[in-house]
Amino acid sequence: MSDREQVPSAPAERPAAAGATAYGASSPMTAGPDHSPGPAPARRQDPVAALLLLLAGIASGFSLLLPWLAGEGVTGLTLVKDGFASLGDGVSEVMGTGYVQPLTIVLGGGVLFLLGLLLLVPARGHRLVGLLALVVALLVTVAVLVPLAVAGWDLGFFSIGFWFAIAVAVLGLLGSLKALLSRPVHETSH
């Protein structure tokens, strides 16, 4: 036989290691696929979104103290008290009186304030809090738009208390969207 006709010898079989599978020997340290996970998301606060939601809650507090209608001394607190008093008559009665909007704005502002505090707690992501805040902010926005539409979009009909109610809606939307759309920051190893 010549050198070219020689068949290479088969490699010697290795003895099977403990825990060997049909795919080869497995080491006790590696149980899964051979890939390393990326860096884990860092636990962090979202101070910008928290500030916006806290300001929305503070704006709803100011709206309680200030008049809502131009030329009248009707404060937000008066509207909220009347709204809670009409709750005893039934939900359908509250819907017909127009007190549902001030109640939604003021109570929604309080909820946005609490959600803003939650954004100060370090977490891997604040998307759930952002989603909840967005739902509340959308309810507040509808509660602001309904009286505006009823007044024929005449801002002169309202006083400074209602401007703070508008601020609750705007700040709530901005803060909730910031928390919802923020991407997780990954830790870097040094």
What integer pLDDT is reported at residue 11 of this predicted model?
60
3-state per-residue secondary structure call for the chain: CCCCCCCCCCCCCCCCCCCCECCECCCCCCCCCCCCCCCCECCECCHHHHHHHHHHHHHHHHHHHCECECCCCCEHHHHHHHHHHHHCCCHHHHHHHCCHHHHHHHHHHHHHHHHHHHCCCCECCCHHHHHHHHHHHHHHHHHHHHHHHHCCCCHHHECHHHHHHHHHHHHHHHHHHHHHHCCCCECCCC
Per-residue confidence (pLDDT) for residue 3, from 0 to 100: 58
Q: What does the pLDDT read at residue 40? A: 52
Instruction: Check residue 38 and give its pLDDT.
Output: 57
Q: Give the model's pLDDT for residue 90.
A: 63
Residue 83 is predicted with a pLDDT of: 85
Q: What pLDDT is stored for residue 15 in this prediction?
A: 57
Please state the domain extents for the chain. Answer: 47-181
Residues of the chain with pLDDT under 50: 186
Question: For residue 44, what pLDDT is reported?
Answer: 73
- State the pLDDT at residue 86: 80
